[in-house]
Structure 1
């Protein structure tokens, strides 16, 4: 299969080509480990400040093991910037008891709330980025399928990855055709033409989907992807144990933080 067919062609967006330990792990163990780690972080009391330092140390260790540059992570973590702004505004907007800091009257509840959003959100984003950096888009879907994620969701994601570039290329061709006929999407009164183009693209995508589905059914498709699509090996017991180290360490930190409150 070609890259466009398997989804490998879309791996360049967040995936880092490396030959490291994390990259060689089966996708299902990495997904499970990331989900367990994130769950532990979320349930940790916000007052346990030192626990979040331990979680951050785990993230740094895993990123180093996966040979993921700090600058690469920092640049892509900017996606959470709107939440950071909201977290920084909470100490000024929230009510309740207030404290003085550098001449500012800050809400204690707002400080804890902002810290809670900032710490847990950042750790969750970094964990997700590490997973994406060490796992191709195709393997992510394979891992979800092995973890018994609903088939309808994994198959929708599969076809989206396979035909995203096709639809993007078609949208570019339609845009060039509109511009060559005098359309300029910068002007508000030409929004109607843009909307018509979006509608036409939807109809073409729907018709292509119908044709693809009929072609698949005629070739024996029964609602599940063929076994050849799951070409990567399934996880061994040792790999599950290795992947469990990080969430178990995070759980240990969480238990200690709860006991020492």
Structure 2
């Protein structure tokens, strides 16, 4: 339960983007996403420009394009929802391959697909270049309420412990010849979840009391006091500034 805790989406490439302070990357991705969301869906050239910017950032970060695209499939449920909009939408309709499609539905589907894809790719790039610990540290430096960052920190530190508890409980259940696979056998699973919750709650109480006895006041000590250099802010500002320029120029 040390301080490393690199999440599965992190790629240790050691590039310049990786070395940027986490708070500047968080702000850059947030502002880029805001620009994308505010862009009208009919400005197709602007979305092409945003995509080109992400391609450049991907190359600079050394993130493999195939790795990025595979993990972007997380948005598939939203894409499937978007595909239904032209069929069930109202208003003016057009004929395409024997199908009657709603114009408003087509615009809505494109809006979901384009903005959702760009947002997911930008978030994946942030995750691929920043460890979970640094993400939490960056949020703390950006003055996110301490209660949120502390909860996320404890969750990160004890997620592996909970997963290991769940694994041992499953092995114990299997060793006793019980492997529920059907709905009417769900009782064992429900009992296991309840036991895991009680164990986690009791462990949390013990850990909290131990921390208080050692001087915990509601905020963990910050071991890394380095602040982002103005040069890092300038480098990170390139992405949102160029995206804003594209939005204005192609409006």
TM-score by length of structure 2 reads: 0.97
Deviation digits for residues 174-233 of structure 1, max 9, x if unmatched?
Answer: 1111121221121322211111110010000001111111111111111111021xx262
Whether the 8 Å CA contact 1:97–1:109 is kept in 2: the answer is yes
| 1:5 corresponds to 2:20 | no
Partner of 2:248: 255
Deviation digits for residues 11-50 of structure 1, max 9, x if unmatched?
Answer: 2400001110100000000000000000000000111111
| 1:225 corresponds to 2:226 | no
- 3-state SS, counterpart of residue 244 of structure 1: helix
Partner of 1:162: 157
| 1:236 corresponds to 2:233 | no
Partner of 1:148: 143
Distance in 1 (CA, whole Å) between partners of 2:7 and 2:212 is: 31
Distance in 1 (CA, whole Å) between partners of 2:183 and 2:174 is: 15
Query: Which stretches of structure 1, 4 residues or more, deviate above 3 A after TM superposition?
Result: none
| 1:207 corresponds to 2:210 | no
Whether the 8 Å CA contact 2:35–2:243 is kept in 1: the answer is yes
Distance in 2 (CA, whole Å) between partners of 1:201 and 1:250 is: 47
Partner of 2:181: 186
Distance in 2 (CA, whole Å) between partners of 1:100 and 1:141 is: 50
More displaced stretch, 75-84 vs 215-224: 215-224
Partner of 2:50: 55
Q: 1:220 to 1:167 in 2, by over 3 A?
A: same
Give the unaligned 5+ runs of structure 2.
none
One of 55, 58, 70 as aligned partner of 1:75? 70
Whether the 8 Å CA contact 2:28–2:237 is kept in 1: the answer is yes
Q: What number of residue pairs does the alignment pair up? A: 251
Whether the 8 Å CA contact 2:7–2:132 is kept in 1: the answer is no
Partner of 1:65: 60
Whether the 8 Å CA contact 2:16–2:60 is kept in 1: the answer is yes
